[in-house]
Amino acid sequence: MKKYQDLLRDVLENGTKKDDRTGTGTISVFGRQFRCDLNEGFPLLTTKKVHFKSVVNELLWFLSGSTNINDLEATIWDEWALEDGELGPVYGKQWTAWETKDGKTINQIDYVVDLLKNNPTSRRILFHGWNVEYLPDEKLSPQENARQGKMALPPCHLLYQFQVMDNKLNLMCTIRSNDLFLGNPFNTAQAALWVHMLAQQCDLEVGELIMSIGDAHIYSNHIDQVKEQLSRDPRALPKLKLKRKPASIYDYKLEDFELEGYEPHPPIKAPVAI
């Protein structure tokens, strides 16, 4: 993951200091990309240990359509949820049950799977979570927004666009705002999971993952941790093994995913900006 380290260095060297919603402060750059050939290994960070089970569990939670943290083990969402665990219509709701004006819902994931199987040359194979009607009011707290039926937080990884070339499934994941130290390793691994799962379901090979970032930032209280991470040499990427082919994209379970050869450096702890 040298490309990820290069991005961290880019932000440290070329970033602009900015205030932010959390009051923590960031160093930010705008408009960056890095690419991963998924045939070279699974892009899970090796310069610090990333809890792979949490990466998988969160993605399966999104896929279930749930918007309640009580359905998710070991969540980082606690600080934004209501007392009953509700977050409002966040990712899973928009992905699997986008509401329409006639009172029905659209499952965007079904749409993607159908196109990959039946019209893989389409340039419209995508899903997103940026539903303007339910975006939170920035003047209100996450909990106040959730109580009013809005999203507690707006989506960061907001667009997943797929393309099939030479029977290989490629994905460009667009992220409007990215906490590079804590968030990006999770986002990259989850995007790679999407490629592996959909490729298996649709009888395709894995191709390239492109992470496309709007505001790429390092929080001011993560700088020491970033520098420690940059002092470490990346190790060989692990391999992802899917142990079975479930009946549908919705039927994967945690035990279906196995990492082979993941030998990262030790974890580096850092506070979450709330």
pTM: 0.96
173 catalytic? Reply is: no
Q: In this predicted model, what pLDDT tens digit does every residue of 89-146 receive, in sequence order?
A: 999 999 999 999 999 999 999 999 999 999 999 999 999 999 999 999 999 999 999 9
User: Which residue out of 36, 156, 173, 202 is catalytically annotated?
Assistant: 156
Is 265 flagged in the annotation as binding?
no
Q: In this predicted model, what pLDDT tens digit does every residue of 52-90 receive, in sequence order?
A: 999 999 999 999 999 999 999 766 888 999 999 999 999
How many angstroms from the chain centroid is the CA of residue 48?
Answer: 18
Domain architecture of the chain: domains with CATH: 2-260 (3.30.572.10)
Is 51 flagged in the annotation as binding?
yes
Find where tokens 């507690």 sit: 152
Contact (CB, 8 A) for 156 and 175: yes
The angle, 0 to 180 degrees and rounded to 10, between the axes of the packed helices 2-14 and 223-230 is 140
Is 123 flagged in the annotation as binding?
yes
Is 35 flagged in the annotation as binding?
no
